[in-house]
Amino acid sequence: MTLMAINCSMVQAAGSERWDAVSNTAASITGNIEFSPVRLRFQGGQTLELALQGKQKGFKADGDVVHAQVYKVLQPVDLVLQKGNRLCGGKIARPVRWVLAWTPEALPGDSTPLGLAFSSGETAPTTSTGADSCGTYNYELAAPTKAKR
């Protein structure tokens, strides 16, 4: 397993950053996102208000051991997102309580990757595959938009 450090500047910037969905899960459920230390906004406009809880060293994400930023969802909810899909899947709502963010290993052609894991557990998860896991989603930092003339 690889030990990767999270690029703290990517999620601690004062403003939000735009991220393009690159995994099938992210593309079909969340779409592109805007992410800041206090808010996660999905492509359809739904938001999760967040509070940074600190770092978790040794978070197991999709087979890798990473250092993740841990965010508590201030008002737990299982949002209905693209095409009626939910973050925690299934027909029964499972409120999302935690968001963990890390920098996955970049694949050839990747620019700046971001991994997110969502969990419905009462306590912050230590793995992305536990019983309370809502799945992992992968993104890439969006290219800056050009100003219109």
Q: Which residue has the tokens 């052609």?
A: 109
Q: Quote the pLDDT of residue 34.
A: 98
Predicted confidence pLDDT, tens digits, the chain (149 residues): 333 334 444 444 448 899 999 999 999 999 999 999 999 999 999 999 999 999 999 999 988 899 999 999 999 999 999 999 998 887 788 999 999 999 998 777 777 999 999 999 999 999 999 899 998 999 999 988 755 55
Closest CA to 69 of 78, 79, 77, 57: 57
User: Which sign, positive or negative, has the C-alpha torsion 41, 7, 138, 100?
Assistant: negative
Q: How many CB atoms lie within 10 A of CB 48?
A: 22
Residue partners of 133: CB distance under 8 A and separation at least 6: 117, 118, 119, 125, 127
Question: What residues are paired with 92 via a beta bridge?
Answer: none
**SS in 3 state form for 67-103?**
EEEEEEEEEEECCECHHHCECCCCCCCCCEEEEEEEC
Q: Which residue has the tokens 């920098």?
A: 103
Q: Quote the pLDDT of residue 13.
A: 45
